[in-house]
Structure 1
Amino acid sequence: MRKHVSRTLIGVAAVSALLLTGCSGGGGGADSGKPNLPKGDEVSTKVDPSLKKLLPEDIQKKGSIDIAVDIPFPPLSAYDANNREIGFDPELGRLLGQKLGVDVVLSKQAFDSVIPSMQAKKHDIIMSGMNDTPEREQTITYVDYTHGGFAILVKPGNPKKITGQSALCGKTVSVQKSTIQGELLRATKCSGAPVTVMELPTDLDALTALRAGKSDAYSADAVVADYVAATTDDGKAYEIVRDPENPAGFNPVYSGIGVLKSNTQLVDAMQKTLQALIDDGSYQKVLERNHMEAYSVKTAEVNQGGKTQ
């Protein structure tokens, strides 16, 4: 979801350390208890009272929207040195709240539990770079906010000579549990031995497996793989394998804001609010701030994953 990386976001090593101390939720990290609004050089927008009226009554009454975010997953999400949630998802989430005129509560949630947690009413929406797939659409409605594929990381020098997805046949690839990459890799057409998919609890675990030689490659959303390759050990820890025919990554898919399928009123509010952020230019600025502009969408559409796969 981006081509190049600056130091706007903290590096992977710092993310790993902050993971041990990062807050598990609550509207603004070090500023917990205060309204969770954009601050510093973060992108800001103006409130639109007409959009707030679209929200379900329970959210209007409590005056806040609870967002589940898998942290860390840079550049989509991370903690800064003050335990403030940063990255595309937290920053876009704050913009949604600001446009709607409600507070935002960002809750750290393991990726493989975000849907059950929302079903249990522990949060209102999911913003975790979640791919929009037909299977997930059986439970979740997506307001799609990015479009991109996955990329492959290998060790420096590419000792296994991996040149693309088909070259992963007979190899072991580490991925984060419950991500679409595992499904896509298992579906790889191989004339001989299939791809062995090593699913691990966190994205950091999957990266560590590659670095330790337990896997031959690592796969994640292109935006994440690109970030890791560019920032870890000054770009010397990994090499990225790209799809020469698609700069946005192998098997591009939509990702978006997840809302319970039954909550049609909230889906409508999220779609119209995201469209308002696209129209006023703040959505594009958040993408650019996080170097994800190659993965933008032009309009806020719903459930495009089910239409294109």
Structure 2
Amino acid sequence: MSAVRTVLGDVPPGELGVCDAHDHLFFGSPRLPGQELRSVAAARAELVAFRAQGGGAVVQWTPYGLGRRAADLPPLSRETGVHVVAATGLHQAVHYDEDALKGLRGRLADVFVAELAEGIGASGVRAGLVKVAGGFHALDAHARWTMTAAAEAHHATGATIAVHLELGTGALDVLDLLCGELGVPPCRVVLGHLNRSPDLVVHRQAADSGCYLAFDGPSHAHHATDWRMPDAVRALADAGFGDRLLLGADTTTAAARSVGGGPGMPYLLRRVRPRLVHAVGEDLVGRILMENPGRAFAVEWS
């Protein structure tokens, strides 16, 4: 039986409800000094606000070494009634110091598998996906290393691989590596940040592979592309790929949270959802938020 691995255990995909398929409750990087998502109280308030808008599940893409606070996730999920999925994986090299990366050489896939099958550190919380990252229109040696380890972890466990596309670029190179060279089924790959590069031809080519395409935001840094997202979603839906689309809020800084004065998780349902309903209809938006995430993240765990 396929199941989504949440921080409280495996659940049938139909139990997720309305899902924010790409977000962060906790996140910290030296690239964003002073904007770390560390507050448990703020994370709780954000989940409560998301729940009040009808939200039922959040997939946290925060990977290894970037402040996941895995032990805090189960109580937050219980207290708010929102399913939470945690991630293993590794981000771009710029988010880590060299010593941290050296300590993972030769054992990265083993770390991913252990966090998926046994738990993150001493928390006992099992990850439900692997998050890795590409570069700007290219894959450097670090990306190839992490994606190779992610593919090994997929083959060992069945886990879905979610990919940060830098500025929305490099989708086809990622698919060539993961699905071509490394043998990961496209239906087990989620490409993130497609809205940041609104190239409808590349979107169509990526969708043709059978992978999932995640549109996330709104984004302060990439706001100029936000308004084009409904057109991209409509183009993919018109081409028959409505069942491959995902939506997320991708809250990465404290200022971006709704409880910090930003749009945050609730904005996805309060404003993005009705805007998309206007573009593609209520039925499709409902499926994107409620059915597609279950298929994207539910696997037959081994």
TM-score between both structures, scaled by the size of structure 1: 0.28
- Considering only CA atoms, is the larger Rg found in Structure 1 or Structure 2? 1
TM-score between both structures, scaled by the size of structure 2: 0.28
Higher RCO by CA contacts (8 Å cutoff, separation 6 or greater): 1
